[in-house]
Structure formats: C-alpha cells, structure tokens
Amino acid sequence: MSTNTATLLYGNPNQVSQANVWLISSTSSWPEAELGAQPKWLKKAWEDKMPVQVLTTADGQVVVVQVTASTDSASLEKVRKQGAEVVSFLGKAKTTTAVVAETGLSKADVLAFAEGAALASYRFDKYKTEKATGLESVTVISTSVINKDVKELSVVVNAVSLVRDLVNEPASVLTAKLLSDIFVETGKESGFEVEVLEENKIQALKMGGLLGVNQGSDLPPTFNILEYKPKEHTNAKPIILVGKGVVYDTGGHSLKTSGGMEAMKCDMAGAATVLGVIKSVSELGLPLHIIGLVPATDNRISAAAVSPGDIITMSDGTTVEVLNTDAEGRLILADALVFAKKYEPELVFDFATLTGAAARAIGKEGFVFMGTASDKVKYQLQSAQNQTYERGVEFPIWDEYAGQIKSDVADLKNIGGAEAGAITAGKFLQHFTNYPWLHFDIAGPAFYEGAPVGYIPKGGTGFCVRMVVEFLKGMA
C-alpha cells in the first residue's frame, strides 16, 4: 500500500539557501546572513509567546520558529506540535516542500520537529476524485543530526503512515484475506517472513474463538504469523506481539447502534500496530527475534452466527459462555495467546481496540495497559512512553476480578459485570497466558473521530507504533 506522508530527507549545508523553514533557539542565534536583519515585530511576537511566524523576505515567505530547548517529554512534544503547526502554514500557501534549517538546536529538538511535521503531513485521499495539495517532502539541514538519524526516523514515520492507511480503509475493501496479503507484501519489502494459516488449518488447531467469531461471516478468517529473526539476535526467546484483527465489527447478535458502527473499520488497529512495529524493527535491523500473531476476521450477523448464551471451546480446551457477541476481540486474541505458548516467549504484548470502558476511563489521550510483565519491563515501557509522548495508564489485574468472569455453565464467560469492564477483559485474556505479558487496550487513541490535534489526524492515528519501537530499541 502507498502512504500519503511527506518523505523525510537529509540535506547538506549547501542547500541552506533553499531553506523555507528556520528553527531558531534564541534571538541571538538569528541567521542574519541568510534572512537579513531580524525585524522588530518578530522580536515582539516572540516576547508575546507566538513562536511560529511567517517572515516575508526578498525571495518570498519563510516560516520562522523559535524553539525553546526541550528539557522533558512535555517540552519535546511541544516541538513536535510546532512541526505540525508549520505544516499548516505551508499547506495554506500550497507549498509542497519544506527545507528546514536550524541554528543552535539539539538533535532531539531537530528530530522532534521533523517528526511532527512529517506525521502532520499525512492525508488519506485515496478515494477523493480531487486531491488537495499536500506536503511532499521535509528536508532537514542541521549540524546536530546525521543522515542515519533522519533515515531511522523516516522508517518509523512511514510505518505509522501504513498503520493509518490500513485503519482508514473501508471494510468493503480490507477483508481478512486482503489484510493477510498486505502482511505478505510488506514482509517481502521489509525483510521478514509471513505465514498465513487458512480456515482448514485454523480448524485443525481448534481455534474456537476465531472460528466462533467468524461463524456469521461469508468471508473466511486467517491466522497470520509474522517473524523477524536476524542471524544475530540478542534475545534467546522471542518477543511476541499479538494484534486484534477484526476488520469490521457489527457487534454480531449483540448489535451495535448505528452510531457505534460508523468507525468499526478501526477494529483491526491492533493488527495494524503489530505490522507497523515489525516493519520498523526489520527495516531498522534491530538484533531482536520478534514474532507477530494476528487472528483476522469480521464479526457479522447471520443464521449461523454465535448467539448470546452459546458455549464455544478455545484451542486450549477452555470452554467459554458467550454472553455478549460484541465482546469478540478477546475471543480471537485468546486463541493467539494460547498459540504463543509454543514459542516459550520472553515477553508477550497484545494490542486491541478492546473496550469502550478503557476509552471512557482515560479518553483518546492514551491507552490502558495491564498484565504480568516485570517491573523492569514496565519501567522501560514508561521510558518509551515519555520519549514518544504515547502514554498509557496501568490498571490493576488483581485476582479478585477473576470472579466476575466465572460462568455457571462453562469455565469462563466472555464479559464481567457493569464495572471494571476494561480490567475484566484483561483478566479474561490472562487466563490464556503462562508467560510475562502485557495487554494494551488502545480503544481510545487508535481512531480520532473529531478534528485533527497537532500531528494526530482524523481517523486512524497509528498510536503505539512509535512507543513500542522505542521500547524495543531500548531492549536491543
């Protein structure tokens, strides 16, 4: 799939005369040789804390940004948002290229600005007959960064863009089969292996959760195994990433309202996240053995569909009373978590747009996570969250919550009570694990239905890809 995001490029000092965006660390670092004397009105604007301004020079307009040196994750995020703001300025002028020069900025600030600008340039216009002019490239000219820095940033930005594209695709296009085809195609391009298990193999593995959710569909499910295993990897046991791949969710017989269905093409955001992370890890060449597991299907209604009260048997023999067919994501994830046991993994993360309860708890600003991974892993995760500003809140997963998912007629039921819905969903998943594990409920931030915020677009956001890649870079 193609992505509609500006290409990140590394520029050399000889291109500084082409710069149409200047990043200034202070008034004393004004590039007078390139821009002439600093206008008095600009100094006043900066004093009034208006750091992004358009300066009209003899050669045309130049955007000038005063960047306050970042000292923490929040101030670094402000620099990203300045990058997004500049893209808005350039868009109004129908400018297709940004050549960014800087004076006196750190590597972290320069890359954060470029990251924000590139991410903000994203647009999903595949189905528009008239396509708007957009930013096509961001060239970085800086003494504080090298070509390798820009290339590595470009890898992650492109992966985020791919995830956004996948989440934005309508369900009439992105079937489970096509999702698998994209996994295979991306694997060939980026250098990792993909195995797609078709329905007969899924049946042989007795994946009752995936097969049960798929019962109401006319289209077959798939189970996808993505593996990146470099010759020299530092982890003796693999790290496994599991992604929920419900390409469209009607809720089944527990039918969603019409308003609740409008964005349900995003219910495979967890699967897309896994692809984005493994694509990045492979292209960055991290010395880690990573495996992605993605069960994929749609959740539809038909005479054959699972009904509330039905009992299904999971691949490990656990019986589950399905009381709500709209709590389907945990059923397909459970089969993948069981499958993960065969690898005796070092660590397992799962990603899913799983519960409205998580979104209601903390909104679209972050994700909910919980699980059994060590404090060391959680500390490293916190560091990655701070670095990327993709933040989460840890929920408890105390033993007492297990009582809410006990069934009178089966081993488990697939929903708990009216309270702690995000936690009981996680508790359900925990039953199928026997390894260090964290569950990420990304229902809030994976898809924005409102206006864009900074570099976060309307629709698919690609949230979590940058954070997980940063975490894995730390592990490597």
Q: CA 448 to CA 464: how far, in whole Å?
A: 14
Q: Please say whether the dihedral angle defined by the alpha carbons of residues 14, 17, 20 and 23, taken in this order, is positive or negative.
A: positive
Strand order in the sheet with 97-103: 7-10, 137-141, 97-103, 21-24, 60-66, 52-57
- CB atoms under 10 Å from CB of 431, counted, come to 19
Determine how many CB atoms are found less than 10 A away from the CB of residue 433: 20
In what helix (H) or strand (E) does residue 298 lie, and over which residues does it extend?
strand 290-299
Pairing mode of beta strands 367-371, 437-441 = antiparallel
Instruction: Compute how many other C-beta atoms are within 10 angstroms of the C-beta atom of residue 37.
Output: 7
Closest Cα partner for 121 from 22, 279, 11, 7? Answer: 7
**Nearest to 303, CA basis, from 395, 215, 391, 191:** 215
Q: Is 330 noted as a catalytic residue in this protein?
A: yes
| 333, 295 Cβ separation under 8 angstroms | yes
Token pair belonging to 438: 């964290």
Q: Is 466 a catalytic residue?
A: no
Indicate which residue of 78, 126, 256, 391 is catalytic.
Answer: 256
Coil, helix or strand at residue 451: coil
Question: Alpha carbon of 166 to those of 21, 272, 415, 428: distances in Å?
Answer: 31, 7, 28, 28
222-228 and 245-249 strand pairing:
unpaired
What is the dihedral angle through the alpha carbons of 126, 96, 461, 259, rounded to the nearest 10 degrees?
-50
Q: Are residues 364 and 444 in contact, defined by beta-carbon separation less than 8 angstroms? A: yes
Do residues 58 and 35 lie in contact, with contact meaning Cβ atoms separated by under 8 Å? no
Tell me which residues are annotated as active site: 256, 330
